[in-house]
Chain A
Amino acid sequence: MDSPAIATVNGEMQAEAHAHPAYLRHHFETVEQQREAASFGMWLFLLTEVMFFGGMFMAYLIYRNWYHAAFVAGSNTLNIWLGTINTAVLICSSFTMAMAVYSAEKRRRKSLVTYLILTIVLGLAFLGIKAVEYAEKFELHQVPGASFSIEQFVHPTDPKAVALAPDMAEKTQVYFSLYFAMTGMHALHMIIGISILLILVVRALGGAYTEGHMSTIENFGLYWHFVDIVWIFLFPLLYLISRYR
């Protein structure tokens, strides 16, 4: 191009990029630009995730208003201890993930790998506990569609529980539908996250992410924290409705 208006970028811009590091992809001018693009992209992706879960939170909001009694009854059947432990497990995994990012920043490969593996272990622990909870629901016939009975809501065996009219007891199915849909989608995100973590571990063992270019780890950390935060909302909304009674 010999046109004056489409001249070349010289001077500062190129000086900044000096010796191109191997991880600078050819279509970016600078490492800085590449990093910013990646993190911007990740935040946008998280925005789409907010909208994805948003649909279910919307449904939750409406139905909880309509069928409050059914939501209370349904919520009280959840195992609050397993839920609490799982919350703790996830918060720990967010901590280990943050430590993994920190280790990458400090270029400590061994500790990076350790923290990534710890995150995987905690993630698996979460899923294991979740599986136990799901199994419990099947035993209690609280899975809409597959195995459901309103019996224990109409004639509760627990003396502290409030009996529901059969009509309202039917509505607990909406609560459990949302419970399975929301925690199920959350668990799916965990499974995807753990699969990516496995890849990250293999690549980290090969020396990646500890040579200055760590935006993959950083951005994956954002994803992991996001999934964690979703749970931080799910836990009180699903487990803690009117527990004080």
Chain B
Amino acid sequence: MRAFDYARPSTLVEAFELLSAPDGGVKALAGGTDLLVGLRNGAIRPRAVVDLKHIRELAPVIRADKECMSIGANAVLAQLTASEGLRRDYPALVESAAVVGSVQIRHRATLAGNLCNASPAADTVPALLAYGADVVIRGPSGERRVSVDNFVLGPRETVLTAGEIVTTIVLPTPKPGTGAAFARLTRRRGVDLAILSVCCLVDPEGEVRFGLGAVGPRPFLVRDSAAAVVSSTAAEQFAALVAKASPITDVRASHDYRQAMITVLARRTLAAAIERSSWVSP
């Protein structure tokens, strides 16, 4: 591995300063499961890395607050899959966290890192989109809060500017009776990236939301407030969903296969989400 410098700040203020280097040559390090791969294969060549794991304000806590659930930036995916509160209220997010990499990877990989890495195939992002999650960002010029939908701009690109750090991911409490489910397709069961991933959420009034991953330059959200996907116009609705995607052909699957599978996974996750919800389809 190429040499770089390392810093281990214990406060956000120190980290802002370190990460604000104007040349952009300083990278934040969380679990390192994306960053170390990039450092090893030379895809990124930072002058220095700043370890976020000792920063108090990013503590790995998953906390139920009034009308929301907050997940600290240093929380790893194994914590998400073990969390009683998340399993009860956000089962589709837990399902998506549970398929990332392997046990070893989930012991290190953070939810914030999965989001900040901004891969089109990041598995937890479709679920964060469907649950309407927000990202709390702090930086040299203060705090701001953006929706996950507005956070990821494209492959490896987010709204974060120099020195900014994600501190918390906030999920609003789903309305009672909400059901949601996640599914993905891979070539093999273990340690593989998604060909396609879908999270579907159905609320008690019948609003249906789909979060889709790996079929566009970034994961994206499609809302269907009239529950048209379960009406007589369902076929048109699914066609509209497919039309929003722009899948590519790569080593994992072809454009055509991905496109064909969107409807399949959308139908499956919709059926599972309805099953988990209190909504009775007309």
Chain B associates with chain A: no
B interface residues, Cβ below 8 angstroms from A: none
List residues of A whose CB falls within 8 A of some B CB. none
